[in-house]
Amino acid sequence: MHFPAYHKNKEWRRLFAGVVLGTILGYAFFIYIHGELQQKYTEEHIEMTAKVNELEAKYEGLLNNQKQGSNESSLKVKEIAVSYTNAKKLEVDLLTQHQLTTLVKNQLTSITGKDLQTIAEQVDLIISTIENKNYVVDDFTYELKITRLIVSEIVTLHLEIKYVP
């Protein structure tokens, strides 16, 4: 039995080249889409992990305040909100922003559930706590400067990011 020499015919060469090229392009497209989805899922996982850690810390703070017997009806700090003023200018990605936010909130876990009057008296301590620390994320070191601090039931921090070489 003899197999015909398809490689000599021009139409067969075009077909085989098209199949090979289509396979390579399809695989490249698959790798690209897989990478995009993986990045999205990683960001979502980090965001949800940070949210769970924040809720656990808030719960622990409320339990500690309940054990201390502070049941008066004064205003308490419920949440800490962090935003960055120059993140777009420095082109800091969302993953790094989430990690910096987590580090800042870990620094300030003790103020959740505290009396608002007490926190208002300790604003200088909060500012020095955040500004005097270098934050390391993915082998990059950042300094944070507080541009605005609003103390209410939700403590709002507007931070400026500085890259430290």
Q: Give the domain ranges of the chain.
A: 11-164
Please report the pLDDT score of residue 125 as a whole number: 92
- List, as own/partner pairs, every contact residues 110-114 make where C-beta atoms lie below 8 angstroms and the sequence separation is at least 24, other chains included: 110/61, 111/77, 111/80, 111/155, 112/57, 112/58, 112/61, 112/62, 112/77, 112/78, 112/79, 112/80, 113/58, 113/61, 113/62, 113/64, 113/65, 113/76, 113/77, 113/78, 114/61, 114/65, 114/76, 114/77
- The pLDDT of residue 14 is 87
Q: Do 152 and 78 touch, CB atoms closer than 8 A?
A: no
Q: Kindly report, residue by residue over 66-120, the tens digit of the pLDDT.
A: 777 655 667 888 889 999 999 899 888 888 888 899 899 889 888 887 888 888 8
Give the whole-angstrom CA distance, residue 87 versus residue 111.
26
